[in-house]
Amino acid sequence: MKAPADRVDEVAQIINGYEEVSHNYLRPSEFNIWFTLSTESETRMQEILSEITERTGCKVVNLPTKKLFKIGVKFNIK
């Protein structure tokens, strides 16, 4: 997502208002807010992306997952 620097916190708060958003990152680039959205359907995903665009007035780019990686982490806590 491309958000003006002076609105990053406001825009991030709108994005984080959706329970389907699990991660939200500030990045040092033109498209400065990256977030992970996981929905039960393509229809719901498009609905949320449209709502976010409408509510923020910011450009959203959908970069769908092409390959899912699951990383197993085990901690040895003593």
Q: What is the pLDDT of residues 4-17, one digit of tens each?
A: 999 999 999 999 99
Predicted model pTM: 0.80
- Model confidence at 66, in pLDDT bands (50, 70, 90)? confident
Please tell me the predicted confidence (pLDDT) of residue 72. Answer: 67
Q: How far, in Å, CA of 38 to CA of 51, rounded?
A: 15
- Residue range 43-72: mean pLDDT, rounded: 89
Q: How far, in Å, CA of 25 to CA of 73, rounded?
A: 22
Region of poorest pLDDT, from 14-18, 54-58, 67-71: 67-71
Contact present, 40 and 49 (Cβ < 8 Å):
no
- Residue range 40-50: mean pLDDT, rounded: 95
Contact present, 51 and 11 (Cβ < 8 Å):
no
